[in-house]
Amino acid sequence: MDATQVLERLQAKAKPSVAKTYRRHGVFEPCFGVSYADLAALVKTLGVDHALARQLWASGNHDARVLATKLADPGEMDAGELETWVLAAGNSLITDALAGLAARMLAAKPLALAWIDDPGEWVSSVGWGVLSLLAFEGRLRAPEASSLLARVRKGIGGAPNRTRHAMNMALIAIGGTMDGLRDEALKVARDVSPVRVDHGHTGCATPDAEPYILRMAARARPARPTGPNKAAKKASKRGAKKARKPAAKKAPKPARGR
């Protein structure tokens, strides 16, 4: 399937209500309004195709660009090409999609650390989004993550609007996944709370980091056993069966004479 056919497929999946939602999230580029479920189905059909991803990105259509981030091959994409895409970002939906793509690259960490220095709202948001994903994947070392926590504490109050949200989510990701830094992350969360972000008319909100981190920690903690586990119960039953005496066999009836 070529780019023209994919764009036709996207247009066929257009939903005005979805397009309206995307507009509320700041999408001003041409946009059909294709749901993420329909995009995911297309990804399954098309598979990784970097040449197609490039063509879809070049179309300038929002839905096509989100799809492009999912079809792109991180192994074929160099830092320069990715940076060109990131510099074109202009809303929170595409920054999330680009963060997902960047996190799949081997150079994800150095790229993200460079992007969070960018004074612009969207590039820095991609950088913090990548760092959140790396934390969830266990790809941040403790000293790096601790340095990021210090940066959140010091800079979140003066950061651009959407960057504040992305920094808060990175704080949650580090505190919720890195046991050794949880107390430090909770302290930062208390120091910077509340993090105020204008989400426009979307109905979205930036979560309070402290309770979010605590909930993540509680979910990760193994539950206390309240009794023998299933394997132990099965072993116990097997042992009981072996201990039972086999029932005596009935004597065979004598054969009748003919």
> What spatial distance separates the first Cα and last Cα of the chain, rounded to whole Å?
84
What's the token pair of residue 148? 């990021």
List, for residues 130-150, the tens digit of each pLDDT value. 999 999 999 999 999 999 999
How many whole angstroms separate alpha carbon 34 and alpha carbon 18? Answer: 7
pLDDT, residue 222, reads 58
How many whole angstroms separate alpha carbon 61 and alpha carbon 58? Answer: 8
Report which of 176, 201, 196, 200 is spatially closest to residue 186, judged by C-alpha positions.
176
CB 177 within 8 A of CB 136: yes
pLDDT, residue 134, reads 98
Cα 151 to Cα 27, 81, 123, 209: the distances in Å are 29, 28, 17, 15
The secondary structure of the chain as a DSSP string is: --HHHHHHHHHHT--HHHHHHHHHTT--S------HHHHHHHHHHH---HHHHHHHHHT--HHHHHHHHHH--TTT--HHHHHHHHHT--SHHHHHHHHHHHTTSTTHHHHHHHHTT-SSHHHHHHHHHHHHHHHHTT-S-HHHHHHHHHHHHHHGGGS-HHHHHHHHHHHHHHHHH-GGGHHHHHHHHHHH-S-----TTS---PPPHHHHHHHHHHHHSPPPP-S--HHHHHHHHHHHHHHSPPPPPPPPPPPPP-
CB 59 within 8 A of CB 3: yes
List, for residues 34-84, the tens digit of each pLDDT value. 999 999 999 999 999 999 999 999 999 999 999 999 999 999 999 999 999
List, for residues 198-245, the tens digit of each pLDDT value. 999 999 999 999 999 999 999 986 544 444 344 434 444 454 444 444
How many whole angstroms separate alpha carbon 11 and alpha carbon 34? Answer: 8
List, for residues 145-199, the tens digit of each pLDDT value. 999 999 999 999 999 999 999 999 999 999 999 999 999 999 999 999 999 999 9
How many whole angstroms separate alpha carbon 115 and alpha carbon 122? Answer: 9
